[in-house]
Amino acid sequence: MTPTTTSKQGPGEKRPTAPRPTAPRRPANAAPGEAPTTPRPAPAAPTPTTTGAGATDDGSPTTVVPPRVPDDGSPTTVVRPRTPEGGGAPPAARGATAPAPSTAPPALRPGTPTPDGGTTAACTPAPAGTGTAAAGGRRAPWRRPRVLGGAASALVLGLAGALLLGGGGWPAGLTVDLSAPLDDANQWVLDNRDTHPLFLYFLLHLSNTAVDAVNAVYGVLAAMGWPGVLTAGVLLAWRAAGFDRRGARVACVAFGAFALCGLLGMWDATLLTLALMVVAVAVAALLGALIGLAAGLSDRVDRALRPVLDTMQVLPAFAYLLPFVLVFGTGTPAALFCTVIYAAPPMARLTALGLRSADPGVLEAAVSLGANGRQRLWTARLPLARRRMLLGLNQTIMMALSMVVIAALVGAGGLGEEVYSALSTVDVGKALAAGIPIVLIAVWLDRTTAAAGDRLGATAPRRGLLHGRSAWALAAGGTLAATLAGLAFGTTWPRGWTYDISTPVNRAQDWIVDHLSTGVPLVGGTQVWSDAFTVGLLNPLRDGLQWLPWWALLLLVAALARLVGTWLSALTATAALAATGVLGVWTKSLDTLSQVVAALAVTLVVGVLTGVACARLRWVERWLRPVLDTLQTMPQFVYLIPVVALFGVSRAAAITAAVVYALPAVVRITAQGVREVDPAALEAARSMGASTRQQLFQVQLPLARPALKLAVNQGVVLVLAVVVVGGLVGGGALGYDVVKGLSRGEMGTGVTAGLAIVCLGLVLDRITQPTARGPRP
C-alpha cells in the first residue's frame, strides 16, 4: 500500500475511479512522442477495431483493419497505422505497408479504456451476483474470488442444466427468417430497376457516372503509355515525399514497383486496377471526410455513426456484393461502390478523430480572435487534423486495395481478375504474378503517403525550384516529357520485357508441398499437424459449443462479458449471440466461433512471441518487416492453393489463412507496445539490476498491456475478416454460406450469414476487451 493512498484497498490496488478516462483520443498512431494512451480499442482508434487506440501509437501496424478511431476509445480498428506523425516512428511501424486488407474493423465496441492508473480510492462493494461480477479493470483482490465464483457458478449451472435437460441447439420457434423479406426485396429491385424513378433518376446516374469516371482515368493512364505512367508514379512519390534523400528512396520504391508490375506481365491489368482504385479512393476519401466532419463536429452524429461504420467494416463484402450488383449493375459500378463502403470508414474515423483532438488552446485562441464557426473549421480545426486525415487516406487506400480481388468477382477486371482466373487453373505462379503488383502498389502508396504525412508541418517550407508549386510543375513537366517520349516509343509495355514466374513458382510450390506435407521426420508434416489440430482441438471445441444448451451458452457469455466488462457489455454480448440464434444460424455460428477462437489463440501466441522478439532484436524485425508487409497486402486468394496443398481441405486450412492474415498486425502492435514502454521505467528496473527476463516480464509486458489489448482486439477483427476466405478452403459454416449467397444469388443466405459474423465479432469483442466502467456515484 502506498502510503499516500488512504484507501483501504489492498495493497497496491488502486481502483480506478476515474470516470471514464477517456483516454485520449489519439489516433492510433501517435507519434512516438505522444504517449500512447489508450489502449483499448475502442471504437475509434484507428486501429482496428478495437482498440483503438491506438493503435498503437504509432504504430504501424499496418494493419488492417480499420481503425477505429480512437476517440473514444474504442478502437476498433486498426488499420495500419502508420503513423504519420512522428517521424520517429519506429521503423517497424512505418514500414508497414500496410495494407490492410481487410481492415476490418470493427470496432466493435466503443468502450473506453480504463487506464489502470486510476488512483482513486473509493472502493465500492461489488455487487456480486451470480454470474456477474463486476469487475473492472483491476479489482480489489477480495473481489476477485467473488467474481470468479459467480462466473464459475454460472458455468456449473449451465453444465448441470445441460446434463439434466440435454444439450441442444437454438429452439426453432425463436428464429426469424430474413431470407423471405430479403428475397422479396431482391425481386422488387429486379422488377423495378428499369422503371422506378429512384433508379432512373438517381441510382443509374450514379452507376453511369462511376463507369465514366473509371473509364476516363483508365483512358488517361492508357494514353500516357507506360513511360508516362512510370514517370508519373515516380515523380509523384518523389514530390510528395519531398525532393530530398528520403524522397529519393520513396521514388526508388515507386520505380521498382511499377517496373516489376510490367516485368511480371501485368502492366495492363495494373492500369485497370489503378484506375478503379483512383476513383474508389477519391470517392471513399471524400465520403469519409464528410462523414468524419459530421462526426467530428457533433457528438450525436458520432455516436450514431459508430455502429454504422463498424458494420460497414465487419460485414463481409461478399454479403453485400449481390445487392450492389442488382442495383448498380455488374462490373465497375458494383465493384466501385463496394470498395467505397469498405474503404471509407478509416477516413471517417480518423477525420473525426483529428477534428476532435485538435489542440483546444489553438481553438480557443481562434475564438478569442472572433473566428466564427466556419473560420474555426477552415483555419484551425481542419489544418490541425491534416495529419490524421492523411493517415486516414493511407488506410483508405490500403483497404481499397484489399478489395481488388473481390471486385473482380463482379466483373471489375484488372489484377483481381488475373488472380481469380489463375485459381481456376490452380496456377499459383500466375496468381502470385498478379498478387505481387497489388502488394507493390500498396507499398508504393503507403510509403508515399507516409512520407508526405511525416513532412506535413514538420518544418518550414523550403523555397526554391524543388519545393512548393514549382516542384509540382516540374513533376508534371517530367511526366509530360515521358508521355511524349512514350508516344514515340510505344505506349504498351514492351513484350520482350516480361518474365514469367509462374513455372518456377509452381515447381517450388510442388516441391514444398511434397516435402512438408507428410512424412517429415520427427515433426510429422503439415497434414499431420492439421489432422491433429482438428481432432485434438477443433472438434472438441466445436462439439462442446454445439452440445451446450443455448441458454447455458448465453449465460456463459454473459458471465464472461461481465467479468471483463460492464453490465452493458454483458448485455450486448449476450444479445449478439442470441441474434445468431434468432437468425437461424446458431449451429453454423458456433462452428465458425470455434474456428475463430482457435485461430485467435494461435495468432496471439505466435504473434506476441514474435512481437516480443521483434522488439528486442533489431535484426528479427528487419528481416520480418517485408514478410509482414507482404502477408498483409497479398490477396488471400493467392495463397489459398498452397494452404490447401499443405493442410488439406479442412478447417485447419481456414485457420491457417486467418492466422497468416491476422499475424502481422498482432506482431506489429506487440512489438511497438513493448518497445515504447516508458524508458524511465525500464531504466529504473535496469538500475536495480533486473535481468533481461525480469525486465521483460516485470516491466515491459505489464506496461505494454494496452498494446496487448489492442493486439487482441485486432486479432479478433482480422480473424473475422477472413472467415469468408476460410469458407473457400474448407472452413464451411458461415463463411461458406456467405460465398454461397453471392454465387447462387441467394441474398437471404449471404446476408444472414454476414450479419451472424458481425454478431460474433461483437461477442468476441465484448468478452476480450475490458471496458472502463463509468464513474460510480
Partner 1 sequence: MNTTATTPVFGVRNLWKVFGPRADRVPGDPLLADLPQADLRARTGCTAAVRDVSFDVRKGEVFVVMGLSGSGKSTLVRCLTRLIEPTSGTLEIDGDDVLAMDGSRLRELRRRRAAMVFQHFGLLPHRSVLDNVAYGLEIQGVGRAERRARAAGFVEKVGLAGLEHRRPGQLSGGQQQRVGLARALAVDPEVLLFDEPFSALDPLIRRDMQEEVVRLHREEGRTMVFITHDLGEALRVGDRIALMRDGRIVQLGTPEEIVGAPADDYVRDFVRDVPREQVVTVRTAMRPMRADDAGNGPALPPGATVSEAITAAAHGGGTPVRVVENGRCLGVVDPQTLLGVVAGVTPPAGKAAA
Partner 2 sequence: MPTGSPTGNTRPTHGPRPPRGARTARARRAARTATAVAGALAVLALSACGAAETGRSQRAGDTERTVTLTVPSWVGAQANTAVAAYLLENELGYEVRTQQLGEVLAWDALSRSDVDAVLEDWGHPKEEKRYVEERKTVVSGGDLGVTGHIGWYVPKYFADAHPDVTDWRNLDKYAEEFATAESGGKGQILEGSPDYVTHDEAIIRNLGLDLKPVYAGSEAAQITAIRKHVAQKKPFLTYWWTPQWLNAQVDLVEVKLPAYREGCDADPAKVACAYPRTPLRKFLNADFAKDGGKAAAFLKNFTWTTEQQNEVALMIADRKLSPEAAAEEWVKDNEAVWKTWLPK
Footprint of partner 1 on this chain (CB under 8 A)?
359, 361-372, 375, 379-380, 383-384, 386, 456-461
Nearer to partner 1, 35 or 476 (CB): 35
Q: Smallest gap, in angstroms, from Cβ of residue 245 to partner 1? A: 21
Under 8 Å between Cβ of 479 and 226: no
Q: Which is nearer to partner 2, 342 or 736 (CB)?
A: 736
Select 122 or 458, whichever has its Cβ closest to partner 1: 458
The answer to whether 562 and 770 are in contact (CB under 8 A) is no
Binding partner of 774, given partner 2, partner 1, none, CB within 5-8 angstroms per partner class: none
- What gap in Å lies between CA 481 and CA 686, rounded to an integer? 60
**What does 518 bind: partner 2, partner 1, none (CB cut-off 5 to 8 Å by kind)?**
partner 2
In the complex with partner 2, the residue whose CB is nearer, 500 or 678, is 500
Residue 727 CB, shortest distance to partner 2, in Å, is 5
Type of residue found at 703 = L
Cell of 305: 455513426
Q: Is residue 650 at the binding interface for partner 2, with CB under 8 A as the rule?
A: yes
Amino acid at 45: A
442 binds, among partner 2, partner 1, none (CB under 5 to 8 A by kind): none
- Of 518 and 698, CB closest to partner 2: 518
Please check whether residue 756 is in contact with residue 588, taking contact to mean a CB–CB distance below 8 angstroms: yes
Report if residue 379 touches partner 2, rule: CB under 8 A. Answer: no
Coil, strand or helix at 218? helix
**Pairing relationship of beta strands 43-45 and 74-75 according to DSSP bridges:** parallel
- Cβ proximity to partner 1: between 463 and 693 the closer is 463
649's contact among partner 2, partner 1, none, with CB below 5 to 8 A by partner kind, is partner 2
CA distance 712 to 715: 5
547-562 in b/e burial notation, b at 16+ Cβ within 10 A?
bbbbbbbbbbbbbbbb
Residue 212 binding partner 2, by CB under 8 A: yes
Should residue 744 be labelled a site residue for partner 2 when binding is judged by CB under 8 A?
Answer: yes
Residue 608 neighbours by CB distance under 10 Å: 24
- Tell me the three cell numbers of residue 175: 428464429
How far apart are CB 363 and partner 1 at their closest, in Å? 8
Which does residue 379 touch among partner 2, partner 1, none (CB within 5 to 8 A, set by kind)? partner 1
Report 540-579 residues binding partner 2 (CB under 8 A). none
Query: What is the smallest separation between the CB atom of 375 and partner 1, expressed in angstroms?
Result: 5
Cell readout for 422 is 489463375
Residue 75's H or E segment, with its range, is: strand 74-75
Whether the CB-CB separation of 664 and 82 falls below 8 Å is answered with no
Closest separation in Å from C-beta 367 to partner 1: 6
Question: Which is closer to partner 1, CB of 371 or CB of 613?
Answer: 371
Select the binding partner of residue 322 from partner 1, partner 2, none (C-beta < 5 to 8 A, by kind): partner 2
Output the smallest distance, CB 452 to partner 1, in A: 14
In angstroms, rounded to a whole number, what is the distance separating the alpha carbons of residues 14 and 95?
Answer: 38
Stretch that binds partner 2, among 64-72, 157-165, 190-198, 586-594 (CB under 8 A): 190-198
x/- binding map, residues 223-262, to partner 2, per CB under 8 A? Answer: ----------------------------------------
Which partner, partner 2, partner 1, none, binds residue 568 by CB below 5 to 8 Å per kind?
none
Name the binder of 644 from partner 2, partner 1, none, CB < 5-8 A by kind. Answer: partner 2
Distance CA 762, CA 574 (A): 9
- Beta carbons of 28 and 744 less than 8 angstroms apart: no
Binding mask 709-738 for partner 2 (x = CB under 8 A): -----------------xxxxxxx--xxx-
**What minimum distance in Å lies between the beta carbon of 80 and partner 1?**
24
* Number of residues binding to partner 2, judged by CB under 8 A: 77
Residue 175: count other Cβ atoms within 10 Å of its Cβ. 14
The least CB distance from residue 86 to partner 2, in Å, is 35
Considering CB distances under 5 to 8 angstroms, the limit depending on partner class, which of partner 1, partner 2, none binds residue 57? none
Nearer residue to partner 2 within complex by CB, 96 or 654 = 654
- Count Cβ atoms within 10 A of the Cβ of residue 378 and give its class: 0-12 exposed, 13-18 middle, 19 or more buried: exposed
743 part of the interface to partner 2, by CB under 8 A? yes
466 vs 501, beta carbon nearer partner 1:
466
d(C-alpha 350, C-alpha 355), whole Å: 8
Q: Sketch the per residue contact string, 298 through 337, with partner 2: x for CB under 8 A, - otherwise.
A: ------------------------x--xx--xxxxx----
CB of 449 to partner 1, least distance (A): 18
**In the block, residue with C-alpha cell 501485368:** 266
In the range 471-530, which residues lie near partner 2 by CB under 8 A? 502-503, 513-514, 517-518, 530
Among residues 191, 217, 37, 168, the alpha carbon closest in space to that of 112 is found at: 37
How many other CB atoms are found less than 10 A from the CB of residue 437? Answer: 28
Tell me if 535 contacts partner 2 by CB under 8 A. yes
Residue 593's nearest CA partner among 465, 719, 451 is 719
CA neighbor of 65 nearest in space, from 298, 271, 309, 277: 309
Spatial distance between the Cα atoms of 712 and 42, rounded to a whole number of angstroms: 12
Query: What is the C-alpha to C-alpha distance for residues 617 and 632, in angstroms, rounded to an integer?
Result: 22
Distances (CA, A) of 342 to 50, 96, 397: 17, 20, 11
In the list 283, 644, 701, 707, the residue contacting partner 2 (rule: CB under 8 A) is 644
At residue 389, φ and ψ (nearest 5 deg) are -65, -35
What CA–CA distance (Å, rounded) separates 188 from 268?
Answer: 38
Q: Which residues ranging from 395 to 434 are in contact with partner 2 (CB under 8 A)?
A: 408-411, 413, 417, 420-421, 423-427, 430
